[in-house]
């Protein structure tokens, strides 16, 4: 069986210059990682290619969430294209067959698109939060043009923050094999640990908090809403439909949040422990290494989960639900209630329309909101 040597730094007069190599069996990763990465590549490529096709060729009007979804799908697609290289590398038991620049590029694309996905998921979460919790005000805040500007800023942030990967990643010839470091060479590990910690905070911890807070507030807002407040049989039927729609919205939010936590949280926690335990005992390092290797496929699997949760299922659910809800046009009494409420708290069907749009983004609902907005724009402040 093969044994993996990992540098475990030992202090010498306050520095970390000498390295003791911990040796432990990592045969399992030569099966786990190639198989899991291959599955993610096949499934993720099919799902994201389908999503891109529908977005580019079947979506007539791009909303802000469409812009974010397009960029998210691009991140996931570019990410899965790096996986065949890693499948070959780990299947060949850490023997990199390509040059060092290719090693740097693959590692860079791997992490750049991983964190790009996290940031665009955060953008989608923030967009929906504004629509649900500030439904009327946000109509003037969010647009496809603004979403494109935000997307450019996200890409610039990702490229800037991940550029040091091109410096840290190295190859090293060991016996008859060439290693493509996932982190960096032992002599640069101290600097890499600082860099990795900063990136984890800026590009995972903070976005993770944003997603948690946004979805938590959205669930609370949806549970507080008094949907279908009209009287009569028609109002009762509409209220029951809206109630089911609200429950489905809450369940969808919970599933999305759970998927985000399952894919990214274990990966970052175990990776942080793995990096930190290099300065401790070999036993702790081995345990953290196993946990880290096991959670890596979870982070990769997010590229398969994204198109399912945010696009493929979303489009069908949106079209079917918005047809079933049959939200009526805004009536004069609703306009009067809206105009007489300077705090922006909308009652009845107006709130149903706006929140339904931000949850499901139906063009029919948006058209109706646009009419309302143009006629009463000066009174929505």
- Boundaries of every domain in the chain: 3-379
Q: Which residue has the tokens 């990096």?
A: 275
CA distance 73 to 83: 16
Residue 242 belongs to what H/E stretch? helix 232-276
CA distance 163 to 94: 24
Q: Residue 129 CB: number of other CB atoms within 10 A? A: 21
267 vs 19, 108, 211, 230, 300, CA distance in Å?
26, 17, 17, 48, 10
Token pair for residue 226? 């008094």
Strands (E), the chain: 3-12, 15-25, 171-174, 177-180
Range 300-328 burial, b when 16+ CB lie within 10 A, else e: bbbbbbbbebbbeebbebbeebbeebebe
CA distance 162 to 378: 44
User: Would you state the CATH architecture of domain 3-379?
Assistant: Up-down Bundle (1.20)
Residue 17 belongs to what H/E stretch? strand 15-25
For the chain, how far is it from start to end, CA to CA, in angstroms? 70
Q: Residue 354 CB: number of other CB atoms within 10 A? A: 24
Each residue's pLDDT tens digit in the chain (381 positions)? Answer: 344 555 554 444 444 444 556 777 788 999 999 999 999 999 999 999 998 998 899 888 888 888 999 999 999 999 999 999 999 999 999 999 999 999 999 999 999 989 999 999 899 888 888 887 887 777 777 888 999 999 999 999 999 999 999 999 999 998 888 999 998 988 899 999 999 999 999 999 999 999 899 888 888 887 776 554 444 444 555 555 566 666 666 777 777 788 788 899 999 999 999 988 877 778 888 888 899 999 999 999 999 988 887 654 454 444 543 444 444 444 444 444 444 444 444 444 445 555 555 555 555 555 555 555 555 555 444
CA distance 278 to 192: 13
Within 13 Å, how many C-alpha atoms sit on residue 15's CB side? 5
């Amino acid at each position: 069986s093969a044994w993996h040597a990992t540098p475990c730094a030992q202090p010498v007069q306050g520095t970390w210059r000498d390295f003791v190599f911990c040796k432990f069996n990592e045969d399992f990763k030569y099966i786990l990682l190639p198989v899991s990465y291959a599955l993610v590549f096949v499934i993720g490529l099919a799902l994201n290619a389908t999503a891109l096709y529908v977005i580019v060729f079947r979506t007539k009007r791009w909303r802000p969430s469409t812009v974010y979804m397009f960029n998210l799908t691009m991140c996931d697609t570019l990410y899965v294209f790096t996986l065949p290289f890693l499948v070959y590398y780990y299947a060949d038991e850490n023997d990199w067959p390509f040059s060092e620049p290719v090693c740097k590029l693959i590692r860079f694309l791997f992490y750049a698109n991983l964190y790009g996905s996290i940031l665009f998921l955060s953008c989608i979460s923030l967009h929906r939060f504004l629509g649900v919790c500030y439904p009327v005000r946000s109509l003037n805040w969010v647009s496809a043009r603004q979403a494109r500007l935000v997307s450019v800023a996200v890409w610039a942030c990702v490229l800037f923050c991940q550029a040091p990967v091109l410096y840290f990643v190295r190859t090293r010839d060991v016996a008859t094999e060439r290693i493509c470091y996932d982190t960096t060479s032992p002599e640069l590990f101290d600097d890499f640990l600082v860099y990795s910690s900063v990136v984890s905070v800026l590009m995972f911890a903070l976005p993770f908090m944003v997603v948690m807070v946004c979805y938590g507030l959205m669930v609370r807002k949806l549970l507080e809403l008094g949907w279908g407040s009209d009287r009569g049989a028609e109002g009762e039927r509409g209220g029951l439909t809206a109630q089911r729609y609200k429950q489905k919205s809450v369940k969808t939010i919970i599933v999305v949040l759970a998927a985000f936590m399952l894919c990214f949280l274990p990966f970052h926690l175990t990776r942080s422990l793995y990096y930190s335990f290099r300065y401790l005992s070999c036993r702790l390092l081995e345990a953290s290494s196993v946990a880290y290797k096991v959670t890596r496929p979870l982070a990769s699997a997010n590229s398969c989960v994204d198109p399912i949760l945010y696009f493929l299922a979303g489009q069908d659910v949106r079209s079917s639900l918005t047809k079933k809800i049959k939200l009526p046009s805004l009536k004069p009494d609703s306009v009067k209630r809206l105009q007489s409420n300077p705090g922006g708290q909308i009652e009845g069907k107006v709130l149903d329309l706006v929140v339904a749009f931000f949850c499901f983004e139906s063009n029919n609902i948006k058209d109706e909101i646009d009419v309302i907005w143009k006629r009463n724009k000066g009174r929505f402040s």
